[in-house]
A and B are shown apart, each in its own frame.
Chain A
Amino acid sequence: MSLDPATVRRIARLARIGIDESDLPALQGELNGILGWVEQLNEVDVEGVTPMVGTGHAALRTRDDVVTDGNCRDAVLSNAPDAVGPFYTVPKVVE
């Protein structure tokens, strides 16, 4: 698998990362290097093997349905660059 410049551009846009046209060849080379390295896994025959999702055998932990958190608006808004009263604000988004 190999990515062409158009695909690299598209991936960047989906991730909302602005890139310069002049950076494309380098990024294309790096991404293709990563993909090529990962593709070595295709050499392993995994026919009939259950997919492994982690190294531990732990089951997913769950919690009881009780309210133990929240009511910490100051902390929640602490990093908001432009909070107004109890709200975050962002540049107007209307579709």
Chain B
Amino acid sequence: MSYTLEGRTGTWEIVVGLEVHAQVISHSKLFSGASASYGGEPNTHVSLVDAGFPGMLPVLNHECVAQAIRTGLGLRARINLESRFDRKNYFYADLPTGYQISQFTHPIVGEGTVEIELGDGTVRHIGITRLHMEQDAGKSMHDQDPTRSFIDLNRAGVALMEIVSEPDIRSPEEAGAYLRKLRQILRYLGTCDGNMEEGSMRADVNVSVRKAGEPFRTRCEIKNVNSIRYVMHAIEVEATRQIAVWEDGGEVDQETRLFDPSRNETRSLRSKEDAHDYRYFPDPDLLPLVVEQAWVDELERALPELPDDKRDRFVKQYGIPRYDASVLVAEQAIADYYEEVAKGRDARLAANWVTGDLFGALNRTGRSIQDSPISAQALGGMLDLMADKTINGKIAKEVFEDMLETGDSAADIVDRKGLKQVTDTGAIDAAVADVLARNADKVAEYRGGKDRLFGFFVGQVMKAMAGKANPAIVNEALKKVL
């Protein structure tokens, strides 16, 4: 089902491309030795290079280059062995040099692709145009003083990767899926923490609308959207606005806009005609960056298994459905947890417990997999008790809840509560006989052809035995007698 919006003049489709700014995980900044860590007293993570003092020269951080290459490899993109740095010129108080060092004509990473999966199982490929390295700006605070803005340069010069997609996205849902996938890949690679709330991942959203079969119309850029949900809202709101403009006989102007989530609208941000005139030119302080293919190969060999590969392996190795596998690889820590539980055990059963009861428990208690109240070993221990028929599935639920509360091992709980499954056929046969004697009428109905009553008998026997009977033996005993 393709996504469209209905206007007065007919059906419109939307065209979206995303520019994602991802803050590189590194100790020091892209071109200076000042700390790149978050927080810190204002203006302490700042060197004279970052503050734009005269005569200071930028020196490139080797690890940031490695991070950009790893990310490019993770996006299945071409790595450009020669790339360059340019100056992007504009004036703003939190940009001390008056230019941002970026890569304009020769980025380090070229075309790649990201596979996304939608709610209905549709798989789409979103093209990556490029990835380049650039510097972050400082932070302006406008609420400290009635007439002045305060400037903190701690972020100034921290390395960013700008990841530009092709205009391949056709719905808010696809934009959300793309951002989630990108964030997942970055986190797997350890190149960006993907934390949108703290601003370490932000998106600029390019939106246009068109009638089916038309070429692209003018687009608008919505700057600095800082959550996936807002990106999805902003696209819908902006597309609706543009449709109204076109349908009223107007023209959409190419401009930068701001999304205001409280009013659910976009507003023109920079009407200045010069906003896009950055007068890029090659940075004379920096030679072209040349990397060896051998180094790229070395970085590639050291990459972790990526989410798509892991998902496919889970399906093959553990025989679990693709959907479950996708859920389990959402975060590396979840995948590791699952593999620990599944190791040497019934892998499908393990998947069911992890994605079902465990996720439910984590949700309820507001915990993450890293501080799960039940460790992978503990959950595995419970599955072992099910495998050797010490407990059945119903009792397992009770044991699980107890583990959640007390942190005790499954074996201890079974001992403490006397939950060991009854496999003694004598006791089960007695219970079966008792149930049948008390329900003679139902037995007659069953024998008269009402097969559905079998479940009723099983339930009654289980109830009589406080849920501890082995269901397979109960079934067998009932079948024999009936």
Name 30 interchain pairs, CB-CB below 8 A, sorted by A: A10-B274, A14-B274, A14-B279, A53-B282, A59-B287, A60-B288, A64-B62, A67-B33, A67-B35, A68-B28, A69-B33, A69-B49, A70-B46, A70-B47, A70-B50, A72-B48, A76-B47, A79-B53, A84-B150, A86-B152, A87-B150, A87-B152, A88-B93, A91-B148, A92-B146, A92-B147, A92-B149, A93-B93, A94-B142, A94-B149
Instruction: Report the count of interface residues on A (CB-CB < 8 A).
Output: 39
Tell me whether A89 and B145 are in contact (CB under 8 A).
Answer: yes
Tell me whether A86 and B43 are in contact (CB under 8 A).
Answer: yes
Which 5 A-B pairs have CB atoms at the shortest separation, nearest pair first? Answer: A70-B34, A65-B63, A68-B33, A69-B33, A69-B47
**Across-interface contacts of A8 in B (CB, < 8 A):** none
- The winner among B43, B140, B152 for most chain A CB atoms within 10 A is B43
**Across-interface contacts of A63 in B (CB, < 8 A):** 33, 59-62
- The winner among B33, B270, B289 for most chain A CB atoms within 10 A is B33
Q: Mark A51-76, 1 if CB is under 8 A from B, else 0.
A: 00110001111111111111111011
**Across-interface contacts of A16 in B (CB, < 8 A):** 91
Please report the C-alpha to C-alpha distance between residue A58 and residue B290 in the assembled complex, in whole angstroms: 11
Please report the C-alpha to C-alpha distance between residue A58 and residue B288 in the assembled complex, in whole angstroms: 10
B27 within 8 A of A: yes
Please report the C-alpha to C-alpha distance between residue A84 and residue B141 in the assembled complex, in whole angstroms: 12
Tell me whether B47 and A60 are in contact (CB under 8 A).
Answer: no
Q: Give the residues from 33 to 64 in chain B that come closer than 8 angstroms, CB to CB, to chain A.
A: 33-35, 41-51, 53, 59-64
Tell me whether B59 and A65 are in contact (CB under 8 A).
Answer: no
A95 within 8 A of B: yes
B288 and chain A: residue at smallest CB distance: A53
Tell me whether B148 and A90 are in contact (CB under 8 A).
Answer: yes
Please report the C-alpha to C-alpha distance between residue A61 and residue B146 in the assembled complex, in whole angstroms: 45
Q: Mark B248-290, 1 if CB is under 8 A from A, else 0.
A: 0000000000000000000001100010010100100011111
Tell me whether A60 and B33 are in contact (CB under 8 A).
Answer: no
Tell me whether B153 and A76 are in contact (CB under 8 A).
Answer: yes
B372 within 8 A of A: no
Task: List the count of A-B residue pairs having beta carbons below 8 Å apart.
Answer: 137
A56 and chain B: residue at smallest CB distance: B287
Cβ-defined partner of B142 (8 Å) among A59, A84, A92: A92
B80 within 8 A of A: no
Q: A14-B277, A59-B287, A89-B145 are in contact. Are A67 and B34 (CB under 8 A)?
A: yes
**Across-interface contacts of A24 in B (CB, < 8 A):** none
Please report the C-alpha to C-alpha distance between residue A32 and residue B47 in the assembled complex, in whole angstroms: 39
Q: Give the residues from 311 to 328 in chain B that come closer than 8 angstroms, CB to CB, to chain A.
A: none
**Across-interface contacts of B142 in A (CB, < 8 A):** 92-94
**Across-interface contacts of A89 in B (CB, < 8 A):** 145, 148-151
B32 within 8 A of A: yes
Q: How far is the CB of B286 from chain A (nearest CB, A)?
A: 6
Tell me whether A71 and B44 are in contact (CB under 8 A).
Answer: yes
Cβ-defined partner of B59 (8 Å) among A54, A61, A70, A71: A61
Cβ-defined partner of A60 (8 Å) among B140, B279, B282, B290: B290
**Across-interface contacts of B28 in A (CB, < 8 A):** 65-69
Please report the C-alpha to C-alpha distance between residue A61 and residue B148 in the assembled complex, in whole angstroms: 40
Please report the C-alpha to C-alpha distance between residue A88 and residue B48 in the assembled complex, in whole angstroms: 14
Q: Give the residues from 201 to 223 in chain B that come closer than 8 angstroms, CB to CB, to chain A.
A: none
Tell me whether A73 and B62 are in contact (CB under 8 A).
Answer: no
A75 and chain B: residue at smallest CB distance: B48
B240 within 8 A of A: no
Q: How far is the CB of B468 from chain A (nearest CB, A)?
A: 59
Tell me whether A64 and B63 are in contact (CB under 8 A).
Answer: yes
Tell me whether B43 and A76 are in contact (CB under 8 A).
Answer: yes
Please report the C-alpha to C-alpha distance between residue A84 and residue B89 in the assembled complex, in whole angstroms: 27
Q: How far is the CB of B323 from chain A (nearest CB, A)?
A: 39
A92 and chain B: residue at smallest CB distance: B149
Please report the C-alpha to C-alpha distance between residue A73 and residue B40 in the assembled complex, in whole angstroms: 12
**Across-interface contacts of A14 in B (CB, < 8 A):** 89, 274, 277, 279
Please report the C-alpha to C-alpha distance between residue A42 and residue B62 in the assembled complex, in whole angstroms: 37
B382 within 8 A of A: no
Q: A63-B60, A67-B27 are in contact. Are A73 and B43 (CB under 8 A)?
A: yes
Q: Mark B225-249, 1 if CB is under 8 A from A, else 0.
A: 0000000000000000000000000
**Across-interface contacts of B26 in A (CB, < 8 A):** 65
Q: Give the residues from 60 to 87 in chain B that come closer than 8 angstroms, CB to CB, to chain A.
A: 60-65, 84
Q: Mark A11-39, 1 if CB is under 8 A from B, else 0.
A: 00110100000000000000000000000
Q: How far is the CB of B363 from chain A (nearest CB, A)?
A: 38
